[in-house]
């Protein structure tokens, strides 16, 4: 089996669902269930013996050691993190605790387990660390996209904590020989995205008749990738990535934020028109910029394509349409997330510590 950490969050849950849709190899899912962790994301796996959920912290060395011993995974995929830049600006503590201290403890637990394996499973074992393009810092308009050898220049508490975790992963390979792989991916979007991040926030606010907050001049550029394409890249890197290597993951899809806002508004105008004929873009509201806001991210994804033959399946046009359609089709998920009811759902649905 594989051990996935953070598998109740946005990307982790998409990954677990996709993995089990394509393979019968079981998944042990370790997630602390912070505000961002939502077991409702995995409701379709209830009663499926291939999915074992454990609520816990990647920094709980005793728990992680026990889980590794008991389940003997062939790989650990680390998605668990505090992931929201704005939250990291208001309160960096949790980011350091999970992304830095937690990753270090996880690496230590995994190293002890890996060193105790017999030769064949030891050689086949992989630790895959899921990271972000934000570790590279901000690009000027005409600068070339980030390659894997771009200097790390993180600018937010979030990206600094992720860069620190990337360094730890590298060091555990260099010093202890742990067979690691690191992926640095651009901004994801798609189903199950918590509506604190730009795209889901736009959709749910638009539908609720609320303002659509655009930071600063709205001309900051992000490189967007549909979450299922990120999941397929991770599967491919796990399968064939060279140990110790970094793979940048992206869709060659740079867009200024304001264009994203207009695209989402236009899709909603088409798919859920306002009864009174008004357009959603009238809800756009320019607000004060984020402190230290990175101007531009762009991923050069040629290494993963050249070495591993990976390419995204979705264009932005197809992916954003699927995303808007998903939110329109899942008002209950949105309502539960917004009211915090998913936490009660967890209480009523799951009583034990370990939850198949
Ligand atoms: P998310 O915030 O939606 O989910 C994070 C998950 O980790 C949650 O389920 C949470 O409960 C869990 N978690 C947090 N702290 C934990 C801890 N100490 N122990 C165990 N579980 C813990 O985040 P996401 O958007 O799904 O991102 C997943 C990973 O991908 C992160 O490492 C993030 O840095 C990286 N990433 C995200 C993006 C993006 O656009 N969202 C892009 C590139 C990389
Ligand atoms: P976000 O989804 O928070 O991702 P990240 O900061 O990790 O790139 O934000 C994406 C972009 O959208 C970023 O440039 C900040 C901007 N943004 C807004 O303009 N308004 C918002 O309400 C939010 C949440 C983000």
Over residues 251-306, the pLDDT tens digits come to 999 999 999 999 999 999 999 999 999 999 999 999 999 999 999 999 999 999 99
Q: Are 79 and 9 in contact (CB under 8 A)?
A: yes
Cβ-proximal residues to 81 (8 Å cutoff; 6+ apart), any chain: 6, 98, 99, 130, 161, 162, 165
Ligand 2 touching residue 222 (CB < 6 A): yes
Q: Verify whether residue 280 is a known catalytic residue.
A: no
pLDDT confidence bin for 353, thresholds 50/70/90: very low
The per-residue pLDDT for range 321-345, each reduced to its tens digit, is 999 999 999 999 999 998 887 666 5
Which of 257, 264, 283, 298 has the most ligand 2 atoms within 8 A of CB, as the residue to mutate? 257
3-state secondary structure 235-278: HHHHHHCCCCCEEEECCCCEEEHHHHHHHHHHHHHHHCCCCCCC
Q: Angle at CA 19, nearest 5°, toward 13 and 24?
A: 130
Q: Are 16 and 4 in contact (CB under 8 A)?
A: yes
Residue 92 inside a domain? The answer is: yes
pLDDT confidence bin for 349, thresholds 50/70/90: low
- Which of these is catalytic: 82, 133, 229, 300? 133
Residue 11 inside a domain? The answer is: yes
Which of 10, 161, 215, 218 has the most ligand 2 atoms within 8 A of CB, as the residue to mutate? 215
Question: Which tokens sit at 54?
Answer: 């454990």
Q: Verify whether residue 158 is a known catalytic residue.
A: yes
- pLDDT > 80? residue 355: no
How much is the average pLDDT of 174-195?
Answer: 98
- Which of these is catalytic: 158, 226, 280, 327? 158
HSE of 221 in the Cβ direction (CA atoms, 13 Å)? 17
Q: Whole domain around residue 149: which residue ranges?
A: 2-189+224-253+292-315
What beta strand segments (E) does the chain contain? 2-5, 27-31, 51-55, 75-78, 126-132, 180-185, 187-189, 212-215, 221-226, 246-249, 254-256, 284-287, 354-355
- Which residue minimizes the CA distance to atom 12 of ligand 2? 198
Instruction: Select from 262, 138, 247 the least CA-distant residue to 185.
Output: 247
How many C-beta neighbours within 10 Å does residue 243 have? 14
Residue 163 inside a domain? The answer is: yes
Q: Verify whether residue 134 is a known catalytic residue.
A: yes
pLDDT averaged over the chain? Answer: 96
Give me the helix-helix angle, 331-339 and 341-349, nearest 10°: 100
Which of 198, 206, 289 has the most ligand 2 atoms within 8 A of CB, as the residue to mutate? 198
- Concatenated DSSP letters for 160-219? HHHHHHHHHHHHHHHHH---EEEEEE-EEESTT--TTSHHHHHHHHHHTT--EEEETTS-
- Which residue minimizes the CA distance to atom 35 of ligand 1? 131
Whole-angstrom distance, CA of residue 14 vs CA of residue 164? 25
What pLDDT is attached to residue 148? 98
* 222 C-alpha to ligand 2 centroid (Å): 9
Atom index in ligand 2 nearest the CA of residue 83 equals 7
CATH number, domain containing residue 303 = 3.40.50.720
Residue 50 inside a domain? The answer is: yes
The per-residue pLDDT for range 17-68, each reduced to its tens digit, is 999 999 999 999 999 999 999 999 999 999 999 999 999 999 999 999 999 9
Instruction: Select from 221, 231, 275, 279 the least CA-distant residue to 253.
Output: 221
Whole-angstrom distance, CA of residue 302 vs CA of residue 247? 9
Residue 127 inside a domain? The answer is: yes
- Which residue minimizes the CA distance to atom 12 of ligand 1? 6
Q: Are 162 and 99 in contact (CB under 8 A)?
A: yes
Residue 13 inside a domain? The answer is: yes
Which secondary-structure segment (H or E) carries 307?
Answer: helix 302-308
Question: Which tokens sit at 309?
Answer: 């033959």
What pLDDT is attached to residue 347? 62
Ligand 2 touching residue 201 (CB < 6 A): yes
Q: Are 232 and 313 in contact (CB under 8 A)?
A: yes
Instruction: Report CA 345 to chain centroid distance, whole Å.
Output: 23
* 124 C-alpha to ligand 1 centroid (Å): 26
- Which of these is catalytic: 82, 134, 223, 229? 134
Query: How many structural domains is the chain composed of?
Result: 1
What pLDDT is attached to residue 352? 45
What pLDDT is attached to residue 339? 86
Question: Which tokens sit at 76?
Answer: 């650990």
Residue 139 inside a domain? The answer is: yes
Whole-angstrom distance, CA of residue 71 vs CA of residue 167? 28
Whole-angstrom distance, CA of residue 195 vs CA of residue 219? 21
Residue 284 inside a domain? The answer is: no
Instruction: Report CA 23 to chain centroid distance, whole Å.
Output: 21
Question: What residues are in contact with ligand 1 under a 6 Å CB criterion?
Answer: 5-6, 8-12, 30-34, 36-37, 57-59, 79-83, 98, 102, 130-132, 162, 185, 187-188, 194
């Amino acid at each position: 089996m594989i051990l996935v950490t953070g598998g109740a969050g946005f990307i982790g849950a998409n990954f677990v669902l996709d993995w089990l849709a394509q393979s019968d190899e079981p998944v042990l899912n370790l997630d602390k269930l912070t505000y961002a962790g939502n077991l409702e994301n995995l409701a379709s796996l209830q009663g499926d013996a291939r999915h074992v959920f454990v609520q816990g912290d990647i920094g709980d060395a005793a728990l992680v050691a026990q889980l590794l011993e008991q389940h003997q995974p062939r790989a650990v995929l680390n998605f668990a993190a505090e992931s929201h830049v704005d939250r990291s600006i208001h309160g960096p503590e949790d980011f350091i605790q999970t992304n830095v201290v937690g990753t270090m403890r996880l690496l230590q637990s995994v190293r002890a387990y890996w060193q105790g394996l017999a030769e064949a499973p030891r050689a086949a074992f992989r630790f895959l660390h899921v990271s972000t393009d934000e570790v590279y810092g901000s690009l000027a308009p005409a600068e070339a996209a980030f390659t894997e050898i771009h200097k790390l220049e993180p600018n937010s508490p979030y990206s600094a904590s992720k860069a620190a975790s990337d360094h730890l992963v590298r060091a555990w390979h260099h010093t202890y020989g742990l067979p690691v792989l690191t992926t640095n991916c651009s901004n994801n979007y798609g189903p199950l995205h918590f509506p604190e991040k730009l795209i889901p926030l736009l959709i749910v606010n638009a539908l609720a008749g609320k303002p659509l907050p655009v930071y600063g001049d709205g001309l900051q550029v992000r490189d967007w990738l549909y979450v299922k394409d990120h999941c397929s890249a991770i599967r491919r890197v796990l399968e064939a990535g060279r140990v110790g290597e970094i793979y940048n993951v992206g869709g060659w899809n740079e867009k200024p934020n304001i264009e994203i806002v207009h695209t989402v508004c236009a899709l909603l105008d088409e798919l859920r028109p306002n009864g009174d004929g008004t357009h959603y873009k009238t809800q756009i509201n320019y607000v004060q910029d984020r402190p230290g806001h990175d101007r531009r991210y762009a991923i050069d994804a040629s290494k993963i394509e050249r070495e591993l033959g990976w390419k995204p399946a979705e264009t932005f046009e197809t992916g954003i349409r699927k995303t808007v359609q998903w939110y329109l089709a899942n008002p209950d998920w949105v309502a539960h997330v917004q009211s915090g009811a998913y936490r009660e759902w967890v209480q009523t649905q799951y009583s034990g510590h370990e939850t198949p």
